Protein backbone atom coordinates (compact mmCIF):
# COMPACT_ATOMS: atom_id res chain seq x y z
CA UNK A 1 0.00 0.00 0.00
CA UNK A 2 3.05 2.20 0.23
CA UNK A 3 2.89 2.73 -3.50
CA UNK A 4 0.23 4.40 -5.59
CA UNK A 5 0.21 1.29 -7.79
CA UNK A 6 -1.54 -0.54 -4.96
CA UNK A 7 -4.25 2.13 -4.96
CA UNK A 8 -4.58 1.85 -8.73
CA UNK A 9 -4.93 -1.92 -8.31
CA UNK A 10 -7.78 -1.33 -5.87
CA UNK A 11 -9.36 1.17 -8.29
CA UNK A 12 -9.15 -1.37 -11.14
CA UNK A 13 -10.84 -4.01 -9.01
CA UNK A 14 -13.59 -1.60 -7.97
CA UNK A 15 -14.05 -0.49 -11.59
CA UNK A 16 -14.37 -4.17 -12.51
CA UNK A 17 -17.35 -4.44 -10.14
CA UNK A 18 -18.95 -1.41 -11.83
CA UNK A 19 -18.32 -2.88 -15.30
CA UNK A 20 -19.93 -6.16 -14.24
CA UNK A 21 -22.94 -4.25 -12.92
CA UNK A 22 -23.32 -2.38 -16.21
CA UNK A 23 -23.17 -5.64 -18.17
CA UNK A 24 -25.88 -7.12 -15.95
CA UNK A 25 -28.00 -3.99 -16.39
CA UNK A 26 -27.74 -4.30 -20.18
CA UNK A 27 -29.49 -7.68 -19.94
CA UNK A 28 -32.41 -6.19 -18.02
CA UNK A 29 -35.29 -5.44 -20.32
CA UNK A 30 -36.64 -1.96 -20.63
CA UNK A 31 -39.37 -0.75 -22.94
CA UNK A 32 -37.12 -0.69 -26.03
CA UNK A 33 -35.56 -3.45 -28.12
CA UNK A 34 -31.78 -3.70 -28.01
CA UNK A 35 -29.45 -6.49 -29.20
CA UNK A 36 -27.78 -6.43 -25.77
CA UNK A 37 -30.99 -7.86 -24.33
CA UNK A 38 -30.04 -11.27 -25.77
CA UNK A 39 -26.39 -11.16 -24.61
CA UNK A 40 -26.95 -13.44 -21.60
CA UNK A 41 -28.57 -16.12 -23.81
CA UNK A 42 -26.40 -19.23 -24.27
CA UNK A 43 -27.07 -21.66 -27.12
CA UNK A 44 -26.18 -25.36 -27.01
CA UNK A 45 -24.16 -25.61 -30.22
CA UNK A 46 -21.32 -27.79 -31.42
CA UNK A 47 -21.09 -29.64 -28.11
CA UNK A 48 -20.87 -26.59 -25.82
CA UNK A 49 -22.82 -23.58 -24.63
CA UNK A 50 -22.02 -20.56 -26.77
CA UNK A 51 -23.19 -16.94 -26.54
CA UNK A 52 -25.98 -16.23 -29.01
CA UNK A 53 -23.93 -13.56 -30.79
CA UNK A 54 -21.39 -16.25 -31.78
CA UNK A 55 -23.93 -18.24 -33.79
CA UNK A 56 -26.16 -15.46 -35.17
CA UNK A 57 -26.55 -11.77 -36.01
CA UNK A 58 -28.92 -9.84 -33.77
CA UNK A 59 -30.66 -6.80 -35.26
CA UNK A 60 -33.32 -4.36 -34.10
CA UNK A 61 -36.27 -4.33 -36.52
CA UNK A 62 -38.26 -1.74 -34.61
CA UNK A 63 -38.86 -0.61 -31.01
CA UNK A 64 -40.54 -3.90 -30.07
CA UNK A 65 -38.91 -6.47 -32.36
CA UNK A 66 -35.52 -8.16 -32.60
CA UNK A 67 -34.41 -10.25 -35.54
CA UNK A 68 -31.89 -13.07 -35.01
CA UNK A 69 -30.31 -14.29 -38.26
CA UNK A 70 -28.86 -17.75 -37.48
CA UNK A 71 -25.80 -18.62 -39.53
CA UNK A 72 -26.13 -22.41 -39.37
CA UNK A 73 -29.55 -23.76 -40.36
CA UNK A 74 -29.14 -26.73 -37.98
CA UNK A 75 -28.97 -24.38 -34.98
CA UNK A 76 -32.26 -22.55 -35.57
CA UNK A 77 -34.22 -24.75 -33.14
CA UNK A 78 -31.45 -24.56 -30.52
CA UNK A 79 -31.49 -20.74 -30.77
CA UNK A 80 -35.29 -20.69 -30.44
CA UNK A 81 -35.10 -22.96 -27.39
CA UNK A 82 -32.30 -20.89 -25.79
CA UNK A 83 -34.25 -17.64 -26.17
CA UNK A 84 -37.41 -19.22 -24.72
CA UNK A 85 -35.46 -20.68 -21.80
CA UNK A 86 -33.36 -17.57 -21.20
CA UNK A 87 -35.56 -16.29 -18.38
CA UNK A 88 -36.42 -13.14 -20.31
CA UNK A 89 -40.08 -13.95 -20.85
CA UNK A 90 -39.72 -13.90 -24.64
CA UNK A 91 -41.54 -16.07 -27.21
CA UNK A 92 -39.61 -16.13 -30.49
CA UNK A 93 -41.15 -16.96 -33.87
CA UNK A 94 -39.06 -18.97 -36.33
CA UNK A 95 -39.15 -18.08 -40.04
CA UNK A 96 -36.58 -20.16 -41.92
CA UNK A 97 -33.13 -19.17 -40.65
CA UNK A 98 -34.49 -16.02 -39.01
CA UNK A 99 -35.86 -15.99 -35.50
CA UNK A 100 -38.09 -12.99 -34.80
CA UNK A 101 -38.32 -11.98 -31.15
CA UNK A 102 -41.31 -9.74 -30.39
CA UNK A 103 -40.99 -7.85 -27.12
CA UNK A 104 -44.32 -7.69 -25.31
CA UNK A 105 -45.33 -4.51 -23.52
CA UNK A 106 -44.02 -4.55 -19.95
CA UNK A 107 -46.72 -4.69 -17.30
CA UNK A 108 -46.38 -2.62 -14.15
CA UNK A 109 -45.85 -5.83 -12.19
CA UNK A 110 -43.03 -6.94 -14.50
CA UNK A 111 -41.44 -3.48 -14.28
CA UNK A 112 -41.39 -3.80 -10.48
CA UNK A 113 -39.81 -7.27 -10.73
CA UNK A 114 -37.11 -5.91 -13.05
CA UNK A 115 -36.55 -3.01 -10.67
CA UNK A 116 -36.06 -5.45 -7.78
CA UNK A 117 -33.60 -7.42 -9.90
CA UNK A 118 -31.70 -4.22 -10.69
CA UNK A 119 -31.50 -3.50 -6.95
CA UNK A 120 -30.16 -7.03 -6.39
CA UNK A 121 -27.44 -6.51 -9.01
CA UNK A 122 -26.54 -3.14 -7.50
CA UNK A 123 -26.25 -4.61 -4.02
CA UNK A 124 -23.95 -7.34 -5.36
CA UNK A 125 -21.76 -4.60 -6.90
CA UNK A 126 -21.71 -2.69 -3.60
CA UNK A 127 -20.64 -5.86 -1.78
CA UNK A 128 -17.88 -6.42 -4.33
CA UNK A 129 -16.62 -2.84 -3.87
CA UNK A 130 -16.71 -3.24 -0.08
CA UNK A 131 -14.74 -6.48 -0.35
CA UNK A 132 -12.06 -4.65 -2.32
CA UNK A 133 -12.05 -1.95 0.37
CA UNK A 134 -11.62 -4.61 3.08
CA UNK A 135 -8.66 -6.09 1.20
CA UNK A 136 -7.09 -2.64 0.90
CA UNK A 137 -7.60 -1.87 4.58
CA UNK A 138 -6.07 -5.22 5.56
CA UNK A 139 -3.07 -4.52 3.35
CA UNK A 140 -2.57 -1.13 5.03
CA UNK A 141 -2.82 -2.71 8.51
CA UNK A 142 -0.28 -5.36 7.55
CA UNK A 143 2.16 -2.74 6.23
CA UNK A 144 1.70 -0.70 9.39
CA UNK A 145 2.22 -3.79 11.57
CA UNK A 146 5.36 -4.72 9.62
CA UNK A 147 6.73 -1.23 10.20
CA UNK A 148 6.66 -0.22 6.52
CA UNK A 149 4.10 2.54 7.19
CA UNK A 150 3.87 5.00 10.03
CA UNK A 151 0.60 5.37 11.91
CA UNK A 152 -0.11 8.71 10.23
CA UNK A 153 0.62 7.34 6.76
CA UNK A 154 -1.57 4.33 7.48
CA UNK A 155 -4.43 6.62 8.54
CA UNK A 156 -4.01 8.63 5.31
CA UNK A 157 -4.11 5.42 3.25
CA UNK A 158 -7.23 4.28 5.12
CA UNK A 159 -8.88 7.61 4.29
CA UNK A 160 -7.86 7.36 0.62
CA UNK A 161 -9.27 3.82 0.34
CA UNK A 162 -12.50 4.92 2.04
CA UNK A 163 -12.89 7.95 -0.28
CA UNK A 164 -12.33 5.70 -3.30
CA UNK A 165 -14.93 3.26 -1.95
CA UNK A 166 -17.47 6.04 -1.34
CA UNK A 167 -16.99 7.31 -4.89
CA UNK A 168 -17.50 3.83 -6.37
CA UNK A 169 -20.61 3.20 -4.25
CA UNK A 170 -21.96 6.54 -5.50
CA UNK A 171 -21.36 5.37 -9.10
CA UNK A 172 -23.28 2.16 -8.36
CA UNK A 173 -26.18 4.18 -6.93
CA UNK A 174 -26.20 6.52 -9.95
CA UNK A 175 -26.20 3.58 -12.38
CA UNK A 176 -29.05 1.97 -10.43
CA UNK A 177 -31.09 5.18 -10.43
CA UNK A 178 -30.64 5.58 -14.20
CA UNK A 179 -31.59 1.95 -14.90
CA UNK A 180 -34.56 2.08 -12.57
CA UNK A 181 -35.82 5.23 -14.30
CA UNK A 182 -35.42 3.48 -17.65
CA UNK A 183 -37.30 0.38 -16.44
CA UNK A 184 -40.17 2.25 -14.82
CA UNK A 185 -40.64 4.68 -17.73
CA UNK A 186 -43.90 3.80 -19.50
CATH class in words for 4-26+107-184: mainly alpha
pLDDT digits over 75-90, tens only?
889 889 888 887 777 8
Pick the residue with more confidence: 184 or 48?
48
Give the separation between CA 53 and CA 58, rounded to whole angstroms.
7
pLDDT surpasses 90 at 176 = yes
Query: Domain segments of the chain: what residues?
Result: 4-26+107-184, 32-102
Q: What pLDDT does residue 128 have?
A: 94
* Chain-centroid distance, C-alpha 30: 14
Shared fold status for 4-26+107-184 and 32-102: no
How far apart CA 51 and CA 45 sit, in angstroms, is: 9
CA distance 19 to 60: 24
pLDDT tens-place string over residues 7-55: 788 899 999 999 988 888 877 766 677 787 787 788 888 888 888 888 8
Q: Domain 32-102 belongs to what topology?
A: Gyrase A; domain 2 (3.30.1360)
82-139 pLDDT, tens digit each: 888 877 778 888 888 889 988 878 788 888 888 898 999 999 999 999 999 999 999 9
- The 3 state secondary structure assigned to the chain is CCCHHHHHHHHHHHHHHHHHHHHHHHHCCCCCCCHHHHCCCEEEECCEEEEHHHCEEEEEEECCEEEEEECCHHHHHHHHHHHHCCCCCCCCEEECCEEEEECCCCCHHHHHHHHHHHHHHHHHHHHHHHHHHHHHHHHHHHHHHCCCCCHHHHHHHHHHHHHHHHHHHHHHHHHHHHHHHHHHCC
Amino acid sequence: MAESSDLSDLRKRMDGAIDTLKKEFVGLRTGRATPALLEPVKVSAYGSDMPLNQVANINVVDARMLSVQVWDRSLVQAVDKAIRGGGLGLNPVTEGQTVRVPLPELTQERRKELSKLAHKYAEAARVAVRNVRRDGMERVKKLEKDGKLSQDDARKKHDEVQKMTDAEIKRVDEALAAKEKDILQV
